[in-house]
Amino acid sequence: MNLVQLRRPSTTFALPFRHREVDGKILITNTEGNFLVLSKEDFVRFAEGEVAKETDLYRRLAERNFVRAELDARRMTERLRARKTFLHAGPNLHIAVVTLRCNETCVYCHASRADMTATHTDMSKETASKVVDLVFESTNPSVTIEFQGGEPLVNFDVVKHIIEVAREKNRTAGKGLEFTMVSNLSLMDEEKLAYLVDNHVQICTSIDGPEHLHDKQRKLPGLSAHKKATYWIRRINDAYAKMGLDPTLYHVEALLTTTRETLPRWKEVVDTYADLGCRALFLRPVDPFGFADRTAPRVEYPRAEYLEFYRSAVDYIIELNKRGVEILERFAAIFLTKILGGQDPNFLDIRSPCGAGIGQIAYNYDGKVFTCDEGRMLHEMGDSTFLLGNVSPAGEGTARSNYRDMMSHETVRALAIASNLDAQPDCVNCTYQPYCGVCPVHNHKTQGSIFGRMRESSLCMVHKGIQDYLFTKIGGPDRETLEILQRWTTVRDRTHFLQTCAT
C-alpha cells in the first residue's frame, strides 16, 4: 500500500524498519521492537533521510535505533534477548485433561465434552502418575500443571493424585511448580475448595456476561450456571484474601467466549466482570474447535464485527479505570507488555515461535500426548495430526513414548518453523511482527496448512485490529489513557500469562 508519496527514499539513513498507517499517522517499528508514531510529514523526512541531527525528531529516532549512523548494537542485542527468553527452556505448561465428562452443555464447547455417564473418559491414577513422570522430564526449570476437562472436578480424586505425586516428585526435582484448574465451578463444594486453596491452585472459570446470556450459552440442567459460578468466584476470592494472599496474584480468572449474541452487549459484559470484582477479562473470539465447528451458524460472526465490539468494550474499560475501577483486558495486556514493556510475556498462542510442543504439552485422559490443547481438540474431532505419543504403552510389544523423541518429533519441528514470523511470508514484513504470533493448528483447521495465509486468516485480522486500536491510543493525545495502558503491563505478575485457560 502506498501510504505517502516519497520523492527519493534514502538507502543509507535508516536501519531496517516496517511501517503502517494507523489513524492518519505512520507507525514505524524495527527488528528489536522499538516503535514511533510519526506524522506523515515526519515520516517522509525520515524515509528520505532528510532529518537534521539537531532536531527532536532525530533524537527520538536515534534513541530507538532507527538511525544507521547511531546504531547501538549492544542495546539491540539485549532487547532481542529479552524478547526471546522463552526459547530453549522446554515446555512450561502441561495440560492434564483428567476427564471429558462435563455437567454443562456449552454452545461453543471446544473440548468436545462427554456425557456424565461416559466414565471411560476419566483419566486413571496409573495414567496420571505417568503424566507427572513426563512433566518432570521437561528441561524447563518451572512447570505449570493445568487441570482441564470436560469438567475436572468430576474426577477430583485424580486431580488430588496428580498434585500429591507432583509435590512429592518435586522434593528432589526442585522445579518452580504451579497448579491451575479450568472449571465451571458448578461441582465445587467446601471440601474441594479447602483442598485447592491449601495447595494454592489458581482457578480459572468462564463468565459469558450477564446471567441471561451466560445461562443461554452454558446450560446447567435444572440450575443457573451463572449463579453457581459467581457464588464460587466470590467465595474463592474471599478464601484467598483470608489467607493473606496478594489479590493481584491469587484470584479466580474468569474468561469470556465472544459469540454472536455477545457482540451488542459489550457494556453488560464489562459491567458483569466489574461487579464481580474481576481485575481482568479476556475478550476472546470463538475458536473453530469442538462443538463450535458444528454450531458456527449460531455462534460465529464476521471478525470486523468482533473488532467493533472489542473497541467499544475496551474504550469502556479505560473509562472505568479513569473512575478508579482496576480492570484490564487480557489481549491488550499481552500486546502492551511487548509494545511498551519490551518483553514477551510468553503467552503461548501469541509468540514467535508459538508454544506448541516447545512451550506446552497436552495430555489426554487416555495418556495420548499432543503438541498443545488445540491439537488435542482436533484429535477429538477425528484429526490426529498433532499427536506426539503416549505416556503409556499403546499395546503389547510397544514402548512408552520418550520425552526427547517427542520434543524432536517432526511435527514439533514443523510447528516451530511454521510459527517463526521471521520466515512467515505474510508476517516477515508486517509492522506488527515484533509483537505478534500465529497458531499453526488454527491455520491447519481453517486453511488446510500449518503455514496458512495470514492475509486471509481471521486470527491475523483480530491481532492486527487489536494492535491498530492500541496504537491509536498510544499515539493519541490522551496522556491519562497512555498511563492506564502502561499500568496494564505491570499490575499482573507475568506468570499469569503462562496459563492458557481455554474452556
Alpha carbon distances (Å) from 336 to 64, 172, 219, 451, 474: 17, 38, 35, 26, 10
Q: What is the mean pLDDT of each run of 10 residues along the chain (503 residues)?
A: 76 96 96 96 96 97 97 94 88 96 88 89 97 96 95 98 97 94 96 93 93 94 95 92 78 90 97 92 89 80 97 98 95 96 90 95 96 94 94 66 90 96 93 96 96 95 98 96 92 39 38
- For 238, phi then psi, to 5°, come to -65, -40
The span from the CA of 231 to the CA of 388, in Å, is 40
**Cβ atoms of 207 and 256 closer than 8 Å:** yes
- The answer to whether the CB of 496 falls within 8 A of the CB of 253 is yes
Give the cell for residue 287: 475458536
Three-state DSSP at 149 gives coil
| 3-class secondary structure, 120 | helix
SS3 228: helix
- C-beta neighbour count of 314 within 10 angstroms: 23
- SS3 per-residue string spanning 325-339: CCCEEHHHHHHHHHH
- Cite the DSSP H helix spans in 243-372: 266-275, 296-299, 303-322, 330-339
**Helix residue spans in 419-457 (DSSP H):** 440-447
How far is Cα 413 from Cα 445, in angstroms, rounded to an integer? 18
Question: For the whole model, what pTM was predicted?
Answer: 0.93
Buried b / exposed e over 344-355, threshold 16 CB at 10 Å, is bbbbbbbbbbbb
Compute, in degrees rounded to 10, the torsion defined by CA atoms 391, 392, 394, 397. Answer: 120
Q: Is the dihedral of CA 475, 478, 482, 484 positive or negative?
A: negative
- Whether residue 458 contacts residue 449, with contact meaning beta carbons closer than 8 Å, is answered with no
**pLDDT of the residue at 246:** 75
